[in-house]
Amino acid sequence: MRLKRRYAILALVSAAALAAGGIGYAHDANVSSLTGTKITPSTLPLTTFKPVSLFVHTHTNYAHPGVKSQGGFAKTVTLLFDDDGKINLTGVPQCTANFPSSTELSQAWNTCGPGAGAAHNAYLSPPTAVSGTASTAPPANFDGCVLVFNGPTVNGNPTNVLFTAVNTVGTVNCANPGSNTAAETSVTLKGTITNAGVADFGKKLTVPNIDKLALPLDDFRATVKRGSVFTARCHDPNKILNVRGIFVYSNDPPPPPSDPQSTDTVNSTQPCTVG
């Protein structure tokens, strides 16, 4: 019965989002950002690489939230990371689970996280708490708890599994992830890590099919840190670490004669110190 209730809640809120988006706005555009994205610590070696913690924060204000034909969903988000950072997933177990929407936070944690034991622990964040939080766009404003896992290798490329347990009733509760069953539903996205192919950037994470979710995500925060999986140095002459985000929206390319939301390219810069 609870699962039917989950779908009923999402269906009602999706309808509300469509109604709100269809009121008729001016030709305003989506605005995305990477505010707060950073590496910790920022004091790093000049030539060798040091283990770091990477915090990523993506946010989008939608002009027409929930209306796919007007760019009211993100479709694909690509994050490019500075070439003074490295990702090495050698030896980390892979999460091959397919999480249905009924998956609780505790179930994901105990399948692919610390609760699964060393041989199956694919978790890429500190082992005592969730990776971060997420939220859906207005009018729903649902909150969620994020877990980031190392996914299976696909066509020779590593992947990430981004699991979010969503609270559709009340405030978000991300405490005690190993036993937490507070979520009403869940969503899972998968991203692929490849070479960036852009000067000053090393690797990129591409997360597609975001517009397949029942509701548009407008905020996503995650901290990734596990041993020496993520390392960085402060090598460039300008002593700046860069992250770039490319946000493609649900109507890109738009079917004429719709009003297109352009693809957004945003940058985050962080000074580093040699030490």
Q: What is the pLDDT of residue 244?
A: 98
Residue 17 gets which letter from DSSP?
A: H
pLDDT at position 262 is 78
Per 3-state DSSP, the chain is made up of helix, strand and coil in percentages (nearest 5) of 15, 40, 50
pLDDT, position 172: 84
Q: 217: burial class by Cβ within 10 Å (0-12, 13-18, 19+)?
A: buried
- Report the percentage of the chain scoring pLDDT > 70: 87
Task: Examine the pLDDT at 185 and tell me if it is beyond 80.
Answer: yes
pLDDT band at 130 (very low <50, low <70, confident <90, very high): very high
- In this predicted structure, what is the pLDDT of residue 21? 37
| More confident call, 41 vs 13 | 41
How confident is the model at residue 229, as a pLDDT?
96
* Mean pLDDT of all residues in 182-197: 97
Write down the pLDDT at residue 129.
Answer: 97
CA distances from residue 274 to 42, 48, 229, 271 in whole angstroms, order as listed: 8, 11, 21, 10
What predicted TM-score, i.e. pTM, was given to this entire model? 0.89
Q: Which of 215, 129, 125, 127 is nearest to 167 (CA)?
A: 215
**In this model, does residue 153 exceed pLDDT 80?**
yes
Query: Has residue 27 got a pLDDT over 70?
Result: no
**Closest C-alpha among 266, 264, 222 to residue 244:** 266
Residue 206: beta bridge partners?
A: 78, 192
Task: Calculate mean pLDDT across residues 87-109.
Answer: 97
Reported as a pLDDT band with limits 50, 70 and 90, residue 250 is very high
**Higher per-residue pLDDT: 172 or 26:** 172
pLDDT band at 246 (very low <50, low <70, confident <90, very high): very high
Is residue 2's pLDDT more than 80?
Answer: no
Does the pLDDT at position 43 exceed 70? yes
* Residue pair 107/100 in contact by the 8 Å Cβ criterion: no
Residue 60 predicted with pLDDT over 50 = yes
Q: What is the pLDDT of residue 13?
A: 39
Pick the closest to residue 206 from 241, 249, 242, 159 (CA basis): 159
Please state the rounded mean pLDDT for residues 230-253: 94
Helical residues (DSSP H) of 22-147, grouped into ranges: 105-112
Strand ranges inside 91-184, DSSP E:
132-136, 143-150, 159-167
